[in-house]
């Protein structure tokens, strides 16, 4: 469906877009302000995982905070928005799966804590480009 020059993406298309990228942005309330921070991420099953160190992003995970997660591709003209809850991954098997999925994603080092975002709602849209006239 096209609305105002944008085409809505299906959930499957949104998930394909998420799987095609490794850098996104997580947004959440931190104290009395909103933060939007970049994270390198991977998909593990239906969920988003990323590595972090102690700080605001881990706080959101520990507190099971409601978060928004966005990823886009300017050249292809699409964006995907996920809302859900963040939680720190403590289960050994799940943590191992997440770290394996993130093994190719920078950065390494002190970012050994893993946060999972449960995908509760997902939407996406793609810019419908005007066709150039022939001739």
Q: What is the pLDDT along the chain (135 residues), one digit of tens a residue?
A: 566 788 999 999 999 999 999 999 999 888 888 889 999 999 999 999 998 877 766 666 667 788 999 999 999 999 999 999 988 898 889 988 998 888 776 665 666 788 999 999 999 999 987 555 554
Q: With beta carbons less than 8 A apart as the criterion, state whether 49 and 101 touch.
A: yes
CATH number for the domain including 83? 2.30.110.10
Residue 135 lies in a domain: no
Residue 132 lies in a domain: no
Total domain count, the chain: 1
pTM given for the model: 0.83
Residue 52 lies in a domain: yes
Strands 6-8 and 113-127: antiparallel
Range of the domain at 53: 2-126
* pLDDT given at position 135: 45
Residue 90 lies in a domain: yes
Residue 133 lies in a domain: no
Residue 134 lies in a domain: no
Residue 58 lies in a domain: yes
* pLDDT given at position 60: 67
Rounded distance between C-alpha atoms, residue 85 and residue 64, angstroms: 6
Residue 109 lies in a domain: yes
């Amino acid at each position: 469906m096209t609305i105002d020059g944008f085409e809505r993406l299906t959930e499957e298309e949104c998930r394909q877009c998420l799987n095609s990228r490794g850098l996104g942005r997580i947004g959440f309330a931190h104290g009395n302000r909103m933060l939007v921070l970049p994270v390198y991420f991977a998909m593990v099953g239906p969920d988003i995982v990323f590595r972090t160190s102690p700080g605001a992003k881990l706080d959101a995970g520990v507190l099971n905070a409601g978060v928004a997660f966005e990823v886009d591709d300017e050249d292809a003209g699409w964006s995907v928005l996920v809302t859900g809850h963040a939680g720190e991954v403590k289960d050994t098997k799940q943590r191992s799966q997440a770290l394996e999925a993130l093994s190719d994603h920078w950065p390494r080092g002190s970012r050994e804590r893993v946060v999972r975002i449960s995908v509760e709602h997902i939407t996406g849209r793609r810019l419908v480009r005007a066709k150039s006239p022939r001739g």
